[in-house]
Structure 1
Amino acid sequence: MATVNDQLPTLPSGRPRGWAVLHQERPRPERIRTRPWAWRLAVATVCFGAFMGQLDASVVTLTYQPLGEQFHAGPAAVEWVSLSYLLALVALLVPVGRFSDAHGRKLMYLYGFAVFTLASAACGLAPGLGVLVGFRVVQALGAALMQANSVALVTTSAPAARMRSALGMQAAGQAVGLALGPTVGGALVATVGWRWVFLVNVPIGIVALVSGHYLLPRTRAAAPGRPRVDALSVLLLGGATTAGMLVLSVGSGLGLPVWTAAGPALAALTCGRAFVRRQRRGPDPLVDLALLRRGGIAPGLVGGLCGYLVLFGPLVLVPVVLGRGGASALSCGLVLTALPLGFALAATLADRLLPPGWDDRRRCRAGAAGCVAALALLAALPMTPGLLPVPLGLLGIALGVFTPANNTLVMRAVPQTSAGTGGGMVNLGRGLGTALGVAAVTLTLHLAPAGAGARAAAGVLLAFAALALATTSARQPRAKA
């Protein structure tokens, strides 16, 4: 099979010429490529993207209060700063991955960095909430280009014997970004303002873009023919999820009459039904419904969705509760750090700390049970800066045990020939869970009686944790075909 670079014109030096500069991957300099540690530099570059993505995911909720004050908007409107990004990411991850298979993962990854960095600058300079939401959609396109290619670039760069180490480095980059997000975001909002939550991505992105250009390896082989992307499925999925979230936002106090939710509700049902029908009959579905009938996959995806809902719900709940009590953004960020820090520690150290005889199924059940216990504690304790880190830290540890084990069980049940589709479904579940965590907490805080919103929201999160625990009782996944 010919490589991407064999198909396009190059100069004798190996550099692309003319317009090929924009659509051909550039090789690494020979003095870097031939070094035994070149793979470490490539993986470190991918870690920039992992760090930025998780930092952005855990930092934006701390801007809700200042955004609402500056643009005179309520929580139901401000939450779309997160929802627009998450919904676009959900719709784009699978088609972007397939497009990258045909056109080069390094090239698409670098374009992702460029788009993400430019969109971050635009978000930081946005003159209004609507403009900010629009640029967040563009930012999600860049994030999709990075996320869809990150694991493939790591596995392409590292020797087979160092694969586990390389993937561990990438996971560490994600963990650091997730753990630092609340503290960095709180400090930026409290000192230089909410705009720098987005502008801080710009220097990191520039460094990563230059590094990737010189340090990432070219795609080894391109998929033959044109990429098979079902554009109609992408539009139907985006329409169903966006309309569904809009219904929740109207119920959360978006400022529109309740009856106006009827239109988006009908659109969500229509698009959702058409999407399912398309996946059954289409030649190249985004979601392979036949896979969901294999033992353990459907419960695992539901459990993964609940896990990310429970992870990101408190990132909305805690700043609102503490902000109403007069706490600063920095104080909120420091309290919130306990959650992603616990997640990061458990996800990276579970193999060393858990009993060696525990398989993924037992880890999954123990992590889900820990989530239930932590959220019950969160609902029972006073929500003060001094006490909140305890249940949040325990919740993070439990999720750090549950999530990797759950994902492993799902992917183990997926046939090797459908690994890409299975990974795409895991990403879809993660994105939908994150968006639902934001929307569910906002809706509960709006509908609950005065003074009872925080405990009601904790109760909702507890219910989803219990659902995640219930999914672990599903029958053992089958071995791969």
Structure 2
Amino acid sequence: MKSISIRGALASLSLSMLLSSLGTSIANVGLPTLAAAFSASFQHVQWVVLSYLLAITALIVSVGRLGDIIGRRRLLLIGMGVFTAASVLCAVSSGLGLLIAARALQGIGAAIMMALTLALVSGAVPKAKLGSAMGLLGTMSAIGTSLGPTLGGFLLANFGWPAIFLLNVPLGILAMGLAQRFLPKDDPEKRADRAGFDVLGTLVLVLTLLAYALAMTLGRGSFAPLNLALLLVAVVGAGVFVFVERSVESPLVRLTMFRNVQLSAGFAMSLLVTTVVMATLVVGPFYLTGALALNAASVGLVMSTGPLVAALVGVPAGRWVDRLGAHRSGTLGLLAMLTGACLLPAVPTNFGAAGYIVPLAVMTAGYALFQAANNTAVLAAIAPQERGVVSGLLGLSRNLGLITGAGVMGAVFAFGTASHDVLQAPPEAIAQGMRLTFAVAAGLICIALAIGAVSKIVSRRLIASC
């Protein structure tokens, strides 16, 4: 019976992860259709995606902390309900403004699901199987990302744009039913201090993260005065947040937790690695189209290689973590990513699509292994009552890496092409931009490897001194 309960809990959490990742990728493919349906420009309709991502980025830490206070299972059920109800609102929206607002609400539900799925899995499975569970969740996230464009295209062609949102409704209801039935009930004695939800710190953090996310996403990679102003607001906001957290009695994020070397290293490595992953998504389509002269259908097939590899490798990667240990597995994953990042700029363009697919597959497999190892190591290093906020911070580091990658690595690529308009750049210029981008990516992975090695050494010395 215990085995059935664990499987039921994992099924619920897997659906939660699948839905939140599907919510991003399935909407991307619908943007042209939505632009036509609402007679809107691309600049306006892109907020259907941005509002969802911004809501997740701004709230993922706060909802993680709230789960620690009121109960993670309870809040996860609320998040699933919000996500499902918002999906209905998206489908029945009569105007673009209403759709964007409904997508922001859907993003709030997704933030809760992302933060608390990781927090709950560490309490729902035995510690010896935690790596395998993390690998499974990574697989479900990759399946959601890779399935979105294909499934979205089918639904758009046959049922119209509301179907891409209505799909979430039966899956959301199923996830809620499984969570209600199989997830262990919240233990009041293990919750964080109920009296101390940090409202001021939450507000400052939300505004800071929104400013940073907007600075990196507005203008599609070009840093105008507005982007610089928003970045300055984010820097000032970060300083204010640190001051607030040192002053309040029950902070949203205990700054002392960052004295845990393993925890701080895990967040930093996650941010660096996801910045690199985003480079493949930003640069890939331009390189495949401009340098290799592939058509749109071929580009889509090549780009689906990454999520497909992540989906296939996720569960085996989790088992490797259980057998080899988190640190060793994480290092192997980073080395695989470094190999792929070095191969991509080294392979001549006359190798065609294969010269891009093979390094991309190596890099993605390494990322799947690193992610399972890093999540396992971070969640194993904290007290149970802090799993919510730490899971939120893990999700935040991933989202900040993706946002930073879109902005910074896109700018590096544009600089490398030495062209004012990347779309008009000659093939050799685009290839040169790709080489520079992945040279920078390789450097970021080397920094992540160094952080991992230093954190291991420091952790051993601290254990020896005790």
**TM-score where L is the length of structure 1:** 0.75
- Correspondence 1:405 to 2:382: no
- Counterpart among 357, 360, 363 of residue 395 in structure 1: 363
Kindly tell me the number of residue pairs found equivalent between the two proteins.
443
Residue type of the partner of 2:251?
A: P
CA deviation map 1:366-410 (0-9, x unaligned)? 322322332344345549666543232222111112222333444
Residue type of the partner of 2:215?
A: V
Calculate percent identity across the aligned residue pairs. Answer: 30
Determine if contact 1:233/1:275 at 8 Å carries over to the other structure.
Answer: yes
Residue type of the partner of 1:208?
A: A
- Correspondence 1:478 to 2:459: yes
Determine if contact 2:68/2:388 at 8 Å carries over to the other structure.
Answer: no
Determine if contact 1:368/1:466 at 8 Å carries over to the other structure.
Answer: no
**1:436 aligned residue:** 404
Secondary structure at the aligned position of 1:350 is classed as helix
The root-mean-square deviation of aligned C-alpha atoms, in Å, is 4.0
Q: CA deviation at 1:201?
A: 1.7
Determine the C-alpha separation between the residues in 2 that align with 1:391 and 1:67: 35
- Counterpart among 318, 331, 334 of residue 301 in structure 2: 334
Residue type of the partner of 1:264?
A: L
**2:238 aligned residue:** 272
CA deviation map 1:269-303 (0-9, x unaligned)? 32222112223333333333333344344343221
- Counterpart among 295, 311, 315 of residue 344 in structure 1: 311
- Counterpart among 270, 288, 292 of residue 258 in structure 2: 292
CA deviation map 1:13-35 (0-9, x unaligned)? xxxxxxxxxxxxxxxxxxxxx78
- Correspondence 1:87 to 2:54: yes
Determine if contact 2:22/2:145 at 8 Å carries over to the other structure.
Answer: yes
Equivalent residues in 2 for 1:81-230, closer than 5 Å: 81-126=48-93, 130-154=97-121, 170-188=137-155, 196-221=163-188, 223=191, 226=194, 228-230=196-198
Residue type of the partner of 1:428?
A: L
Q: CA deviation at 1:305?
A: 0.7
**1:467 aligned residue:** 444
Q: CA deviation at 1:216?
A: 4.3
Change (3 A) 1:425 1:150: closer
Determine the C-alpha separation between the residues in 2 that align with 1:240 and 1:417: 26
Gaps of 5+ in 1: 1-33
- Counterpart among 196, 200, 203 of residue 232 in structure 1: 200
Change (3 A) 1:416 1:245: closer
Residue type of the partner of 1:471?
A: A
Determine if contact 2:60/2:114 at 8 Å carries over to the other structure.
Answer: yes
Q: CA deviation at 1:129?
A: 5.2
Determine if contact 1:77/1:249 at 8 Å carries over to the other structure.
Answer: no
Determine the C-alpha separation between the residues in 1 that align with 2:298 and 2:134: 33
Residue type of the partner of 2:103?
A: R
**1:244 aligned residue:** 212
Determine the C-alpha separation between the residues in 1 that align with 2:151 and 2:391: 30
CA deviation map 1:27-64 (0-9, x unaligned)? xxxxxxx7873443333222211221233344444445
Change (3 A) 1:96 1:81: same
**1:48 aligned residue:** 15
Determine if contact 2:79/2:110 at 8 Å carries over to the other structure.
Answer: yes
Gaps of 5+ in 2: none
**More helix per residue: 1 or 2?**
2
CA deviation map 1:407-442 (0-9, x unaligned)? 344455557775555433322211211222333455
Residue type of the partner of 1:469?
A: C
Residue type of the partner of 1:478?
A: S
Determine the C-alpha separation between the residues in 1 that align with 2:322 and 2:184: 38
